[in-house]
Amino acid sequence: MTLIKSISGIRGTIGGRVGETLSPLDIVKFTSAYATFIANKNPGKKLKIVVGRDARISGDMVRNIVCGALMGIGADVVNIGLATTPTTEIAVRLLGADGGIIITASHNPRNWNALKLLNEHGEFLTKEDGNEVLDIAEREAFEFADVDGMGSYAEDGSLDDRHIDEVLSLKLIDIEAIRQRHFRVVVDSINSVGGIILPKLLDKLGVEYKFLNGKADGDFSHNPEPIEKNLGGIMSEVAEGNYDLGIVVDPDVDRLAFIQEDGQMYGEEYTLVTVADYILEHVQGSTVSNLSSTRALRDVTERHGGTYYASAVGEVNVTTKMKEVGAVIGGEGNGGVIYPESHYGRDALVGIGLFLSSLARKGMKASELRKTFPQYSMAKNRIDLTPDTDVDAILMKVKEQYEHVDNVQVNDIDGVKIDFPDAWVHLRKSNTEPIIRVYSEAATAEMADKLGRQMMQVVYGLQR
């Protein structure tokens, strides 16, 4: 059983002992610490906190405890019900709230849940703010309100529609072009909130659809991470049903992947690349993705005369870099699209609207559009370590071994990334396991895997 405390909140498995899992007592402690952190930033103010959740089986239990703890601290709660992560983020701004809690474990299996913590802008907490929440929780430095100071409780079921209206108001989402293409799509919403909000979006876009795993009951029909090995069902459905596209989201609808009309994966790394290419055709500017994302974004950005920047892994690191450089589009290679014209958060609804707009305007099939981009393949490996291994020292030695090699660039803002002229490899220590993640990219899958395994041998040699 697992309990993981991180700067963005707390996640863990349901059931087990206090302090070792996401138990009711742990939920109270971390919710109260978060509310205290928000109160400390707003002395004397009556707080308003938005709460939304995905469709996980444990969601009702966790939400009830979260709402009660917030009220006990003295915060007014607005429960927006079953809602995507981006919907909850937008709700904080639309409702003028002081923060928000998203109850979702994203792509983790059904026995997990989590509290994701938002600031007053509906964005994830910074590293510094997240550490402050963890410190308050560790010290249990919170105090509950008396009977006259307790918070109120309200529900608001309008946020899905308001989110969709905001998405459709974006200038580069071409509703008319999408309607004229008469797209037929299959959607896998993995038994969560995508099955509630995406039909409304697709109806307004004039897209004909069929849903797989559309019942939002949290009983996931397959591993919910939207990667190829988990998507055989929708890939077969698209290939056999004469559809234009398959659309896949994760349980909280912030990650987005596509299936081509031939039933093949479009590649989740290329969700952001495609959207960025479309944006850059209309707006000059820079882009950002994390160090473990495909080089194709850099290539496409430079093709349009823009500048590409890399950030450390993690959504808040991406958004921080985007604000720093004024990026017009950014995100993560796992299918996360962040479009500042909407908000600084990964949003699959925005990604769907922009992707369909590009496909419609270009008059292409998905497989044809994919071929217009630089072709790379990625391999993902791991090195298991003993708990007493000094990972930082190993990564420093790797950096020193390559930093003076000709035609090689080394970046150490998050582990060590080594850029060769025609490939790259990124090594970073996991925040949750005693392992080094080894991501590599090259022209073919075989070359990428070979590069990654070569780098693993370098690390093994340094351990001896």
> So which residues are the catalytic ones?
106
Q: CA-to-CA distance for 122 and 93, rounded, in angstroms?
A: 6
What does the angle CA 49 – CA 54 – CA 55 come to, to the nearest 5 degrees?
135
Extended beta strands in 245-393, E state: 245-249, 256-259, 287-290, 308-311, 329-332, 336-338, 377-384
Q: What is the C-alpha R_g of the chain? A: 22
Q: CA-to-CA distance for 291 and 332, rounded, in angstroms?
A: 9
- Which amino acid belongs to residue 394? I
Dig out the tokens for 38 from the structure.
């928000």
What does the angle CA 392 – CA 394 – CA 397 come to, to the nearest 5 degrees?
110
Contact 31, 70 (CB under 8 A): yes
Residue at token pair 């109850």:
103
Dig out the tokens for 260 from the structure.
């081509």
Taking the C-alpha atoms of 135, 141, 147 and 148 in order, what is their torsion angle to the nearest 10 degrees? -80
- Which amino acid belongs to residue 175? I
Residue 169: CB atoms within 10 Å: 11
Beta strands 9-13 and 3-6, pairing class = antiparallel
* Of 69, 59, 64, 47, nearest in space to 140 by CA: 69
Q: CA-to-CA distance for 68 and 397, rounded, in angstroms?
A: 50
* Of 90, 71, 70, nearest in space to 80 by CA: 90
